[in-house]
Amino acid sequence: MATQPLLTHVNLGRHVLKNRIAFPPLTRQRSLQPGDIASELMATYYQQRASAGFMITEGTQIEPRGQGYAWTPGIYSAAQVEGWRKVTDAVHAEEGVIFAQLWHVGRVSHHALQPNGEAPVAPSAIPAANAKAFIETAPGAGQLVVPPTPRALTVEEIRELVKLYAQAAKNAIEAGFDGVEIHAANGYLVNQFISEHANHREDEYGGSLENRLRFLREIVTAVAEAVGGDRLGVRFSPLFASTDEERVYIGLVESDPHHTYVEAIKVLGNAGVAYVSIAEADWDNAPELPDTFRKAIREAFSGRIIYAGRYTAERGNRLIDAGLADLIAFGRPFIANPDLPARIANGWPLNPVNPATLYGGTEEGYIDYPVYQAGK
């Protein structure tokens, strides 16, 4: 039998990956408190899934203002760097490759999560319609809340944020990560700057698409200079805007997403970025990403292309075989199946995911999903 495309080797930046199955960024809210520090529990979780050819961590905030959900980890303090080193050591012990996702939620936050109870920051003072932040109400307990109207960043503050992204990338490399991914998707800060809906600035960071892409361009340039373009990826979500019962997702769909994101991807190509990751809508009746867009990405970008969404192995294999994707990321299937590559390789059945234990908690629904055993 021919080898499945998903199970073949591929180069990504300076790395040779053992397969094309990616473990994508998945918010799990299990960092140590206080301090939002990656824990031994998290190290076990990532190590269990290190048979993935490529791994990207859950979003990790680059500064305190970047947090929109209680108990998510950061990568700006010395203690956080040390915590993440436990994770990278565990993954590397299994010969895995892991990048840290650098995250800033911008306006999708709340006074309760901000330093000194201040308003969240954003490109413009426009509230995030339908978005929800998550705040702690008691140890281990919390609730979804509506974000307040944010405060518009000054130009000087924007330039400081670019430096914070570069410093977070350096921190990630110090923590042992193989590279970093910039979270520019799902309606968070970088996406807010790109979007015509969230960015109404009248200076060099707003107005035209070229100006709205300036923040992305400056971050990509600064991070590439700090750690190398071959250790950098960027995640976008061109058609991602919905809600569901597990988590409120807020995306920003532009009037011309094809043009917007092809131009954004050209920014990555000009900086020598190793890969682009496209988060597709993954709920019932969600819009399909058109093949014309997939082909345009391939034409515009010479690096690796990762797709994440409601993928089966069969669908992922077809996309790789067609030359439109290099890696396929599996979210919920990887949460519930730590041995997912082996299950794909052997056609073994998958464990179902438990929606009740996705966010927050301890070991249950986190590190206790079983690997496949015949007859059980």
Bridge partners, 180 (sequence order):
100, 232
Query: What pTM was estimated for this model as a whole?
Result: 0.96
Closest CA to 124 of 193, 52, 177, 212: 193
Give me the catalytic one of 46, 76, 165, 188: 188
User: Which residues, in sequence order, are CB contacts of 265 under 8 Å at separation 6+?
Assistant: 236, 276, 297, 300, 301
188 is catalytic: yes
In the chain, what is the straight-line distance between the N-terminal and C-terminal CA atoms, in Å?
27
CA distance 325 to 302: 12
Per-residue pLDDT in tens (0 to 9) along the chain, 376 residues: 468 999 999 999 999 999 999 999 999 999 999 999 999 999 999 999 999 999 999 999 999 999 999 999 999 999 999 999 999 999 999 999 999 999 999 999 999 999 999 999 999 999 997 899 999 999 999 999 999 999 999 999 999 999 999 999 999 999 999 999 999 999 999 999 999 999 999 999 999 999 999 999 999 999 999 999 999 999 999 976 544 433 334 568 888 999 999 999 999 999 999 999 999 977 666 677 889 999 999 999 999 999 999 999 999 999 999 999 999 999 999 999 999 999 999 999 999 999 999 999 999 999 999 999 976 6
Q: Which of 302, 163, 269, 279 is nearest to 222 (CA)?
A: 163
Domain 5-357 has CATH 3.20.20.70: yes
pLDDT at 249: 45
Q: What is the largest CA-CA distance in the chain?
A: 64
